[in-house]
Amino acid sequence: MTARNSVIWCGLIALSLCGSAALATPPAKLALQGGRIIPVVGDEIASGTILIENGKITAIGEKVDIPFDAMVVDVTGRVLFPGMVDAHSSRGLDVPNEQLPVTPFLDVFDALDPSKLYFEDALRDGITSIHVIVDNNCVIGGVSRVVHPIGLTPDEMTQDVQTSLKLSVAPKRRSDRMVQMATLRETFLELSDYLGDLAETKYEESLEDKDEKIDVGPEEARARGRKLIRSVDYDDKHANLVKLTGGQLGAFVYCETGGDVGRAIRLAKDNGFFDRMTFVLGAACYKAVEEIKATTRPVILGPELIHRERNELTGEIIETFVPKVFADARIKFSLLPHPDGSLGERYLNYQAARCVRNGVTRKKALASITINPAKALGMNDRIGSLQVGKIANIVVFSGDPLDFNSWVDQVYINGIRAYTRDTDVRLKRLFGEETSEVPSGDEKEKVDNEVSVKDSVDQKKPTVTTSEKAGTEKKVTDESKQGS
Amino acid sequence: MRMKMVGHRCCLQAISIVFIWSQVPSPYVYAGNGGAGDVVVYADRIHVGDGQTVVNGAVVIRDGVIVAVGTDITVPDDATVVRITDGYVTPGLIDANAAIEATDVMTAPMGRRTPRAVLHDFFCPRHVDKIAEGCCGSRCSRSLQHVTGHVCGECGFPNDAPSLAVGTRTWSTDVENSSEIIPHTRVLDAINLRSPDFGRLAKGGVTTVFAAPDSSAVIGSRGAILRTGGPMRERVVRAADAVKATMGTEPSWRGGRNRSPWRNHVSLLTRRPSTRMGVAWIFRKAFYDSRLHDQGKPFGGADAPPSASLLALHGILAGDIPLRIQARQQHDILTACRLTKEFGLSFILEEGTESYKCLEELKSQHVPVIFGPLYVDAPGARAYSTEVAGARLHTFQRLLADGVTTALTANELRDEDGLARQAMYARRMGVSFNDVLRSVTQTPAQLLRIGEEVGTLEVGKRGDLIVWDGRPFDADARPIVVMSGGIIIVDRRPS
């Protein structure tokens, strides 16, 4: 137990050291030079430079004038990719959700645990923005927030406060769909009753101040009182619901099956949050793809990308690769990493590669792990691509992001280097402490004994050929500063 | 070495292949051209499976057997032609330790879940996305919207802990419980050859499997070598193959029937052993008694091997029946080495999770390893095991680098974690393409002693091959066509 504790403490201390040091002293100007840039939005640059000033991208291109006082990192042979976005995760919470069904008054802030191993893994896997939200097992969950996986406290981690409420039209555990929908309707009915009562009370109070007696019917009193309500008058239980129906909060609505989609749309339209709704979809929802398309609302697909079902008459198993259905319907979707221990599906870039394998275009696959989830979070002006003006959340891959042999070499968050593979103690341990050798990832295999290898065959896939040392940071001293 | 690998039947061709390869790189043909009724597979690259590659060539299959591999092959009009743009061809994959789902239950990926997820599932009766069918048989009225994992989505009945082997589910009575020594039983008798599991294996490019016995007995059943597709009469390659023994904790906790003998009464319900010591003792006593029996001396006692098993035990001692031993932790691997040395047995190590810690012993005793699957968080029923904490990502790479003959297996994992994906994981962990390919084709074929027939794309071998739409084992490539004996068993070509 003590050993375990000490490990945790070491981890915390290490985290605090890197976190605080990183947060305290961001380099004012940083240039990532010589890498292949996949900006997701815009064209690829075979070899270019990204200039970061005060945590934001200020220049990007083949030729960039690097200020004399910028720190230069040589990333030749590496691939620069936007920090990936996990649009829906409850793994940063100590418990994924509350026992109570209706909990709009909760805030994930109170349960965010910065020492969760998940955040370390997210960083290691190149995920720089995580939308922490209660999981699908709820009726109305709490308010979510967007964090990056570094920082000692929830405050330090936070990228965006609030953002959305979680709702589910699929039944909460030990419930069923009728009860679920009845609870949702009841909640919003109760809200309107509450608002009516509150308005009436406010009107009465305003008359009492003037020593007048109530002179109108209840309908009129409510209408007059409604104008008197200030935001502080709402109690905790209703405040967030008022924001939701007023369009100040987003709604992440979970649907499990195709039938749930229609119910979700109706619920959103009836209660005024349709314009801020985001679908969180189970695999079976592909059956409602036309309905979803008509809404034009953002779509987040669950981590399970293949839907399997047995034809009860023939016994035949029908497999559907869900993202392909959405891509064919021209719906922009976001992917999620798989929370279970698979070596592959835990990586967002591998989830995207699976899409390519199943016929989704590379462009759409790359967008589904970067700009699409950023859009779903309403943060596409800040994150999700490598463009001038955006936050410098950058992943340095050892190769193409859709190649499973590529490793995340470095991660920059707000222009701060938050991760380097060379110093990843846990990864080294998994590769055997005694050797402490981590494959560099850029050793494209030499096909021994190969007969008449035509290079053109390999040109199909972008290859990276660099030496072992390439991509490690060039420590720039005052004498060797460039661009002066 | 090479002649040993290919076997006497094809050694002449093999030598000629090597000769041609070394002398005339390309174009070349090392056997005749195509004829009527042939199947011709064109590809940008043909990975023969032993490290050789043919660029822009073709494989010609006649009557299920490869008759030509090379470039410049003339093809008659009536030949069946398979040609994929940017296609790559490899031999059909061979899983030398596949746990076959015998009971036609699962339709969703099994065994990926971490203990925590499993616990969550146990209490959560409703999973999305994971649909299995008929998991609780007659107990549940709805069969479609079901759940894999460990509890039925509709009625809460714990349906399965993912099986580690044939027809076994850890909670159920599917495990053969009659004795700790059951090498006289055969897994083939428990396997439904029409199980959809074979279809799932084939879709992942696996054409031949060793259907592994489960790990609940110290000296377990005999596995079978099966094909995953093709005509029914050709599906069974070898009905009774290697015997599987198990070291470590599994014989004492698997099977659900291990209880301490009550008032010293040993019965079916009070199987032993309960410790590693007991496991080793039963293993040792079985072979010791078998020797006594050989010499016509009496033997007996509570843990004596059943008389039915003696024939098989003799076979193992005589070297006629191959022996495999599953051992995960270092001390279990060492125990396996020690015990086999004692009886002069050779064996194949299965799992070998911590084999990176005892490479010297494995090398000195020339123990081949069937390693896999690769994991950090152990999937499936392994998640319950205490033996998996030492898993490392570099184990497979170390085994190969140290010259240990190593095959890769996905065991019970399918689809996204199936054998092709295991190979992809291995590539990420630093193993070269050719080594990975060999470890899922040629090496397992040799370990199963079917290397003359399958494992590489050479003339005279069976036409088991995969056409990929990208570089094999890449994240964005998948098998488009899978052939078993020249017959297409998986076809994903756009119609």
Query: What pLDDT band is residue A270 in, cutting at 50, 70 and 90?
Result: very high
Question: Residues B352-388: pLDDT tens digits?
Answer: 999 999 999 999 999 999 998 998 888 767 777 889 8
A25 lies in some domain:
yes
Of the two residues B300 and B183, the one the predictor is more confident about is B183
Say whether B55 and A453 touch across the interface (CB within 8 A). Answer: yes
* pLDDT attached to residue B357: 94
- Of B108, B113, B393, nearest to A340 by CB-CB distance is B113
Are both A49 and A110 inside the same structural domain? no
B378 to A341: CB separation less than 8 angstroms, yes or no: yes
* Amino acid type, A380: N
The Cα-based distances of B62 to A149, B71, B440, B459 in angstroms read: 58, 17, 24, 10
B-chain CB neighbours of A340 within 8 Å are 112-114, 117, 377
> What is the domain-level CATH number for residue A415?
2.30.40.10
Whether residue A365 lies inside any domain: the answer is no
B positions 23-82 inside 8 Å of A (CB):
25-26, 44-45, 51-56
Q: Which CATH architecture has domain B1-92+455-495?
A: Roll (2.30)
> What is the pLDDT, as a whole number, of residue B269?
62
Q: How far apart are CA B124 and CA B117, in angstroms?
A: 10
Interface of A with B in 419-478 (CB under 8 A): 430-432, 435, 437, 439, 441, 443, 445-454, 457, 460-461
- Are A138 and A28 in the same domain? no
Is A404's CB within 8 Å of B434's CB? no
Q: Which two tokens stand for residue B91?
A: 């031999």
Is B392 in contact with A461 (Cβ distance < 8 A)? no
Query: A89 and A212: one domain?
Result: yes
Enter the tokens of residue A337.
């990493």
Domain limits, chain B: 1-92+455-495, 112-161, 201-452
Task: For B28-73, write each residue's pLDDT tens digit.
Answer: 344 444 455 789 999 999 999 888 899 999 999 988 999 889 888 8
Q: Which runs of E-coded beta strand occur in A293-340?
A: 299-301, 306-310, 317-321, 333-334
Interface contact flag, A402 B129, Cβ < 8 Å:
no
Tell me how close the Cα of A218 comes to any Cα of chain B, in angstroms: 45
Nearest to B51 among A354, A405, A449 (CB): A449
- Total count of domains within chain A: 2
Q: Give CA–CA dist A336/B197, Å, rounded.
A: 27
Question: Could you tell me the CA-to-CA distances from B85 to A292, A389, B78, B495 in Å, in that order?
Answer: 35, 42, 21, 15
A453 shares a domain with A404: yes
3-state class of B238 per DSSP? strand
Q: Do residues A72 and A220 share a domain?
A: no
Q: Alpha-carbon distance B75 to A298, whole Å?
A: 52
Q: Cβ separation of B428 and A405 shorter than 8 Å?
A: yes
What's the whole-model pTM score? 0.82
> What backbone phi and psi angles, to 5 degrees, belong to B44?
-65, -40
Task: Kindly identify which residue of chain A lies nearest to residue B44, measuring between CA atoms.
Answer: A457
Are residues A350 and A451 both part of a single domain?
Answer: no
Is A425 part of any domain?
A: yes
Closest CB from B113, B126, B196 relative to A317: B196
Chains A and B form CB pairs within 8 A to the count of 164
Residue B105 backbone dihedrals phi, psi, to 5 degrees: -105, -50
How many C-beta neighbours within 10 Å does residue A420 have? Answer: 15
Could you tell me if A269 lies within 8 Å of chain B, comparing CB atoms? Answer: no
Is residue B129 within 8 A of residue B112, CB to CB? The reply is no
| Concatenated DSSP letters of B191-221 | --TT-HHHHHHHHTTEEEEEE---SSSSEEE
On whether ipTM exceeds 0.85, the answer is: no
More confident residue, A192 or A342: A192
Name the band, by pLDDT with cuts 50, 70 and 90, for residue B194.
Answer: confident
Q: What is the CATH number of the domain that holds A341?
A: 3.20.20.140
pLDDT for B217 equals 87
The answer, yes or no, to whether residue B145 has pLDDT greater than 50, is: no
pLDDT, averaged across chain A = 85
Tell me which residues of chain B, numbers 394 to 423, contact chain A at a CB-CB cutoff of 8 Å: 394-395, 397-398, 415-417, 421
Report the alpha-carbon distance of residue A206 to residue B157 in Å, rounded: 60
Chain B hits for A404, CB-CB cut-off 8 Å, are: 424-425, 427-428, 474-475
Listed by number, the residues of chain B in 229-288 with a beta carbon closer than 8 Å to a beta carbon of chain A are none
* Per-residue pLDDT reduced to its tens digit, B95-139: 999 988 655 444 333 444 444 444 444 444 333 333 333 333 333
What is the mean pLDDT of the segment spanning B449-453? 95
In chain A, which residues have their Cβ closer than 8 Å to the Cβ of B434? 445, 447-448
Secondary-structure class of domain B201-452 per CATH: alpha beta
Q: Which of residues 455-484 of B touch A (CB under 8 A)?
A: 470-471, 474-478
pLDDT at B281: 93
Residue-averaged pLDDT of chain B: 78
Q: Measuring CA to CA, how many Å separate A349 from each of A272, A336, A401?
A: 35, 10, 6
Instruction: State the residue range of the domain holding A326.
Output: 85-354
Q: How far is CA B158 from CA A341, A473, B151, B175, B257, in A?
A: 21, 53, 4, 17, 18
In chain B, residues with a C-beta closer than 8 Å to the C-beta of A338 are 112
Using an 8 Å Cβ cutoff, are A16 and A29 in contact?
no
What pLDDT score was predicted for residue B159? Answer: 39
* pLDDT tens track for A146-157: 999 999 999 999
Residues of chain A in contact with residue B44, where contact means CB-CB under 8 angstroms, are 457
In this model, does residue A447 exceed pLDDT 80?
A: no
- Within this chain, do residues A144 and A71 fall inside the same structural domain, yes or no? no
Do A158 and A40 lie in a common domain? no
* Two structure tokens written together for A89: 């995760």
The token pair that represents B55 in the structure block: 């660029």
Q: What is the tens place of the pLDDT at every residue in A213-265?
A: 777 888 899 999 999 999 899 999 999 999 999 999 999 999 999 999 999 99
Q: Which residue of A has its CA nearest to B129?
A: A283
Angle separating helix axes A177-209 and A258-270, nearest 10 degrees: 10
Nearest CA in chain A to B476: A357
Does one domain contain both A395 and A295? Answer: no
Q: To probe the interface with A, which of B129, B400, B416 has the most A CB atoms within 10 Å?
A: B129
CB distance B487 to B230 below 8 Å:
yes
Considering only alpha carbons, which residue of chain B is nearest residue A360? B476
* Contact at CB, A173 and B196, closer than 8 angstroms: no
More confident residue, A88 or B272: A88
| Residue A101 sits in the same domain as residue A242 | yes
Decide if B161 contacts B135 (C-beta within 8 A): no
Q: What would the two tokens of residue A108 be?
A: 């994930």
Are A95 and A62 part of one and the same domain?
no
* Whether residue A66 is found in the same domain as residue A95: no
Parallel, antiparallel, or unpaired: how do β-strands B93-98 and B53-62 relate? Answer: unpaired
Pairing state between β A164-168 and A250-257: parallel
